[in-house]
Every structure is written in C-alpha cells, then in structure tokens.
Amino acid sequence: MGNERGNRQISLVQRQAEEFRVELANAVEGVVDKRKLSRNAELKAALIGDEYAQLAATQYMARAAFETLPKWMREAVEAVATGRGMYKGTLVGRSAARVHGMWMLPWAPFAHEVTLPSGKRPAGSKALRGAVYRWSPLRDDEKEKLHGVEVTDAVRTCIDIARYYGFVEGLVAMDWVLAAGKATREQLLEAAAKMGRFRNKAVVLRAIACAVSESDSALESWFRAELIERGVGGWRFQAQIGPFRADFLFDEILVVEIDGRSNTRDKANEVLRAERDRERWMLRQGHPVMRYYYEDLRDHLDRVLAEIGDARRRGHAAGGASAASGASAASGASGAGRKVE
C-alpha cells in the first residue's frame, strides 16, 4: 500500500511540476530584451519609465504584470531574465531551483546564483548586480536548457542546494527530485560520486540517505528535516491509519498534520469537511490530531515542537484516550494558531 501511495504522489508532484513549467513559460513571454529593440525606439524609451520593471541589465517586464505574480514566480522569472541577460554562464543553486520549480523554503533569502566557464567573477561593471558567483565546474551532462537559459539539471541542483545551504534545505530539494520522478536515490548517489571530492559532501550524502518520494509539500519535507536534524525520534512519516494517511504519527498514537496553507479561510468548504471527518475518525480510533499551519512552523517552530513533546508525554502517562482530552485542553491555552482535536 505504501508503494501505491508513493506512485500516486509521484504522479501528483509530476503534474504540479508540469503545471509550473507551463506557468513559467507563459510568464516569461512577457520579458523584453532591450538588446533586440534597436528598431523599436518607442518601446525602448518606455523601458526606462515606471511602466516596466528591470529584472536584469537588459531584461524588462511590464510592472503591472510582474507585480501580480506570486513571490516564487517572480523569483523564477527574474532567474530566467538573469540567464537571458548573460552572454555565457549557467544558473546554479537557488536560481536553478526556481527555474525547475523545485521545492524551496519560502522564507529563505533569494539571490541570483551563476557560474561562468572561467569560474571567476567578472570585473567591475561586467558583474551582474546582486549576483552570487559560484566556482562550480560542470560537466555537460549536468546542464540543460530551460526557457532559453542554461541551468544545472535537477540532480546537480539539489546536490548544490545541500552543499551550499545545508542538510535541511538539501533534503527539501531532494524530496522534490524523488517525488517529481526526476531521479532515483541511486542516481543521486551516482551523481555525487562523479563529482569527486567537494566541500560538505557528507551533508549531501546524509540528505540523499534521508530523502523520500512520499512528501506532499516543501513544508512537510522541511518539518521532517528539522525533526531529523534535532534528533527527534519515535515518529513515522505518511503513516497508514485505517483508510487514511497521517503526515506524522508519533509513538503510534499522536497524529500531527502539516498544512501548507495559511489558515482555514484559504480552503473550500468541502476540503474543510473532508479534513474534519478524517480527524474525527482518527480521534474515535484513539488518535488525537494536532494540525499546524505555515505561520506556526515558520514563526514558532520551537513552540510547536514543545507542544508536540507535551502531548507525547501526556500520551505516555495516561494512554491515548487521555492524551486526546489533554491535547484538546492545550488547544485553548495556546495562541500558536494550530488545531487540536
């Protein structure tokens, strides 16, 4: 049953990846290259006004269209514009991840990351404003063209995310690569081996070992990575409970659900009803449910982990049924914004 769910989830994430590819392709159609406007003096003059946003040295987009895009899509469009504005070079790291639609931490600072064949940063005004230049030798089979720009392929990109930014971000990226069907764990290991010796290779190998294909979202992957990094044990991910799956099952009793949406106002009524029916069913089986939202985890992770720890201790002390009533009482005392049933 786990394999069936994994295959189903891979199909979902693959579909999401394809939808992102189409959305980004449509968005970058609106990017204007100033270098190609020699015969359109009127548009060229308009680029320096307020109607257009400058995305890179020679790349512009209508400001109204650009500012209506969500943050992650704006960053992806800017990354493509940066690549199109370069005469040579490859987008790497977070820039490449954005172009792929790879899962990233939404609160992580974003900068354009590029590498040049020389491996050096251009001198003076030739350097891209605000860009991070990486010394990153690349084989031809580690690069591909997306939306007209050269980027590291998905496998090399997630490896770079891990070695540049650490285990947690690396695991999030690698979960996406596995879930989207871009590579297998064996292919990730093979790619890391081909790179030879490099800084933080142990971090990369640990992220590869811990990556899974069953994650639903970047937030689930991030929370799982934090549990691993902090040494929190006694839980199963995507645990089967009767006809349902729990995001996290602690001590075979406590269910913790991770909701990537901001709050219940973002959900349709039928989705809310399905969630409540599911949680009531789990509670009847002796499984209290704690639900956390995006802001809870982003802003109050330590408090979230403390609440889960308290609920687990109550469960050990009083059994599953008592843990349920104790967790419900804690719900009224906390202001973290999460739901306990």
Note the pLDDT of residue 4. 40
Instruction: Please state the domain extents for the chain.
Output: 2-212, 232-340
Secondary structure string (H, E, C) spanning the chain:
CHHHHHHHHHHHHHHHHHHHHHHHHHHHCCEEEHHHCCCCHHHHHHCCCCCEEEEECCEEEEHHHHHCCCHHHHHHHHHHHHHHHCCCCEECHHHHHHHHCCCCCCCCCCCCEEECCCCCCCCHHHCCCCCEECCCCCCHHHEEEECCEEEECHHHHHHHHHHHHCHHHHHHHHHHHHHCCCCCHHHHHHHHHHCCCCCCHHHHHHHHHHCCCCCCCHHHHHHHHHHHHCCCCCEEEEEEECCEEEEEEECCCEEEEEECCCCHHHCCHHHHHHHHHHHHHHHHCCCCEEEEEHHHHHHHHHHHHHHHHHHHHHHHHHHHHHHHHHHHHHHHHCCCCCEEC
pLDDT, tens digit (0-9, with 9 covering 90-100), for 306-329: 999 999 998 876 654 444 444 443
The superfamily CATH assigns to domain 232-340 is VSR Endonuclease (3.40.960.10)
Counting residues of the chain whose pLDDT is more than 70, the rounded percentage is 82
Does residue 268 have a pLDDT over 70?
A: no
pLDDT, tens digit (0-9, with 9 covering 90-100), for 158-194: 999 999 999 999 999 999 999 999 999 999 999 999 9
Note the pLDDT of residue 41. 67
- Highest mean pLDDT of the ranges 34-43, 75-84, 131-140, 258-267: 75-84
The pTM of the full predicted model, rounded to 2 decimals, is 0.84
pLDDT, tens digit (0-9, with 9 covering 90-100), for 73-93: 999 999 999 999 888 899 999
Residue range 49-70: average pLDDT? 92
What confidence category does residue 17 fall into, taking pLDDT thresholds of 50, 70 and 90? very high
Does residue 117 have a pLDDT over 90?
A: no
